[in-house]
Structure 1
Amino acid sequence: MKLAIDAMGGDYAPEQIVKGVELARDQYPDIEFLLFGQTEKITPFLKSDQRIKIMQADEVIEMGDEPVRAIRRKKQSSIVLAAQAVKNGEADAFFSAGNTGAVLAAGLLIIGRIKGIDRPGLTTTMPVITKDDQDSFVMLDVGANADTKPANLVQYAIMGKYYAESVMHVKNPRIGLLNNGTEADKGDKVHREVHDLLEQEDELNFVGNVESRELLNGVADVVVTDGFAGNAVLKSIEGTALSMLKLLKTSIMNSGVSGKLGALMLKNAFGQVKAKMDYSQHGGAVLLGIKAPVVKTHGSSKADTIFNTIGQIKTMIDTGSVQNVITYFSEQNVKEETPAE
């Protein structure tokens, strides 16, 4: 198994990328790593080159670069060369903490989408905080496509089902449609149409509309939405969690000695809450609908998150999650092309 990794992407690259890769190298003896980037900047942080090969990339796509233009103009960038390695069969997956738009563009324009899928969707894993038998759920799309058609959302549901089954090991995952109410007739024309289409899919365990306030309570295993709403919900959840933790810390610091003593006694409980809300333990966001795993993790990711994301990618490859989607849509294409007798 070979992974093509953009070593120059992210706020703490290449140091934290290299550290995370070495943690994964020591944990997973069956993985080889191709680190794409500027050799002179990567080498000082590399303790051992065992199963790690540095691939020189003269250019770097910066966070502020326009994604598609950068992909087309910076042909020698770490993102482009890593994606090209996957396309050429030299690596099994592409991973970056860099420019999100450029990573998505590289996945779509270089590696290519699966035949039968109109628009790949960006998938993220979120925590469930109120149930003991469910620790997370997946949501897509969370930013790849702002405008979507009903058929795109149905495809998201199918891809989400296969991802939840293979990577999260959920049997017959519950599929929910993000909406402004749980009733079947809620939402705009598009959402009402999607609801009816999902109800007609016999292979999906569709549980109906779900509201954003219930997401962290485990109302579904897979939540389907358009990229605009999904991205807004994702950022709202992240922002609320950070703000609440900040508010709690400020309140404790301003509550005097008794408050600080109380916080000390509850240190373990606070630690459990922080761990439950820690997105990094779930890995990165996956661009589903591409011919190979394409994974983007947060720009502020450090070594532990890089390590967790590599574990996530390994599971995707081991379980054949992408191949399952390819097989499904290939069979659908055959059915559509075969004339009825």
Structure 2
Amino acid sequence: MRPRIAIDAMGGDVGPRVMVAGAALARHRHEGFQFLFVGDETQIRDALKDHPNLAAASEVLHAEDVVSADAKPSQALRGSKKTSMGLAVNAVKAGDVSAAVSAGNTGALMAISKLALRTMPGIDRPALAALLPTLKDTDVVMLDLGANAECDSRNLVQFSVMGAAYSKIMHGFEKPSVKLLNIGTEDAKGTGTIQDAAEALRSAKGLSLDFRGFTEADKISTGEVDVIVTDGFSGNVALKALEGTARFVTDLLKRSFRSSLRSKFGFLISRPATEMLRGHLDPNNHNGAVFLGLNGVVVKSHGSADEKGVANAVEVAARLVEDSILERISEEISKIGQSTPAAAAAK
């Protein structure tokens, strides 16, 4: 299936020029990609002049308005029929494109996507999932990263199934390992919600995942597990802490290497190692969070992403379409049925 992807060209800190350049890089890597750019037509066509190969595989849909970075979700919903973000998501709903990518306001994108696409059968709430770097060769899938501040055990079970399906596509694992984020690894630790979710996952039969209990926040980056599941409040706090720590480490290294002539000489010797560290921590190399659980593929790019980061987000969207993420989630969710303790408690 050749993916056709809608790009909210007005989202992000820079706007059309970076979004178009990122799409051009993605198409250079994958010749079959097709695009629908949504936003100010004049700006988009001006940016496309620098990428004739991309222009030949693209259409432009003019949008009168843009969702501002500080817009409330309710405001974004009211004007969604005129904004670049709203029109991009609605193109997914109409079946005109396979997926949508936006670097705009996260809360607004979540609200617009949920209203337009609705949740899949068997899914109560969508979750925001992303790939985070680890010490191993593969990234860890973590969700929810902010879509749902409060979750019940049923939500956590569904997130586990969706996260595992995402991991299977991105990493090719047959049965991805899954752990719930908790304040300890002992079976007795955690809230009643976490305990109920763990019991439901232990008792579920036939799921394509390997539930391994609990993990703590200091283990997120070790790579000991393929999928980490939590509520959106805890997930967002953990994500921001990880991002802050990465900036702290890189800034501290810069300061240290500039502190003296000897340090500068040491930097020259260790430069290959520091460049590898920078690349591993560069958010552009892991760009592209996904709203899982909707009747359509929507990918959120960092607002500050450069063209490489945008290309990665586009490639994530295309891969989920090509490997039928919606069908995979639907098949796994159907296995949960009404037999688990969490499902029974929800009746």
TM tier, smaller: over 0.9
Question: Where does residue 263 of structure 1 map in the other structure?
Answer: 267
Matched, 1:225 2:230: yes
The verdict on how the C-alpha distance between 1:41 and 1:330 changes in structure 2, with shifts beyond 3 A counting, is: same
1:318-333 equivalent positions in 2, closer than 5 A: 318-330=322-334
Question: Where does residue 45 of structure 1 map in the other structure?
Answer: 47
Contact 1:75 1:81 in 2 (8 A): yes
Contact 2:182 2:217 in 1 (8 A): yes
With normalisation by structure 2, the TM-score equals 0.92
Structure 1 residue 74 displacement after superposition: 4.0
* Aligned pair partner of 1:212 in 217, 223, 229: 217
Matched, 1:98 2:104: yes
Q: How far apart in 1 are the matches of 2:334 and 2:174? A: 23
Structure 1 residue 12 displacement after superposition: 1.2
Structure 1 residue 333 displacement after superposition: 6.0
Structure 1 residue 161 displacement after superposition: 0.9
1:1-341 equivalent positions in 2, closer than 5 A: 1-46=3-48, 47=50, 48=52, 49-129=55-135, 131=136, 134-202=137-205, 203=207, 204-254=209-259, 256-330=260-334
Structure 1 residue 189 displacement after superposition: 1.8
Q: How far apart in 2 are the matches of 1:265 and 1:158? A: 46
Structure 1 residue 79 displacement after superposition: 0.7
Contact 1:122 1:287 in 2 (8 A): yes
Structure 1 residue 215 displacement after superposition: 1.1
Q: How far apart in 1 are the matches of 2:221 and 2:170? A: 19
Q: 5+ unaligned residues in a row in structure 1: which ranges?
A: 337-341
Question: Where does residue 344 of structure 2 map in the other structure?
Answer: none
Q: How far apart in 2 are the matches of 1:191 and 1:263? A: 46
Structure 1 residue 330 displacement after superposition: 4.8
Secondary structure in structure 2 of the residue aligned to 1:207? strand
Q: How far apart in 2 are the matches of 1:217 and 1:250? A: 26
Structure 1 residue 195 displacement after superposition: 1.8
Structure 1 residue 175 displacement after superposition: 0.3
Q: How far apart in 2 are the matches of 1:146 and 1:195? A: 19
Structure 1 residue 216 displacement after superposition: 0.7
Q: How far apart in 1 are the matches of 2:80 and 2:113? A: 15
RMSD between superposed Cα atoms in Å: 1.6
Q: How far apart in 2 are the matches of 1:35 and 1:179? A: 41
Contact 2:80 2:87 in 1 (8 A): no
Contact 1:125 1:138 in 2 (8 A): yes
User: Comparing 200-209 with 48-57, which one deviates more in the overlay?
Assistant: 200-209
Count of aligned pairs between the two proteins: 332
Contact 1:127 1:279 in 2 (8 A): no
Secondary structure in structure 2 of the residue aligned to 1:167? helix
Residue deviations 1:273-304 (CA, integer Å, cap 9, x gap): 11112232223100000111110011101100
Contact 2:287 2:305 in 1 (8 A): no
Contact 1:283 1:310 in 2 (8 A): no
Secondary structure in structure 2 of the residue aligned to 1:216? coil
Contact 2:163 2:227 in 1 (8 A): yes
User: Comparing 26-35 with 226-235, which one deviates more in the overlay?
Assistant: 26-35
User: Comparing 116-125 with 277-286, which one deviates more in the overlay?
Assistant: 277-286
Q: 5+ unaligned residues in a row in structure 2: which ranges?
A: 341-347
Q: How far apart in 1 are the matches of 2:196 and 2:334? A: 25
Structure 1 residue 68 displacement after superposition: 2.7
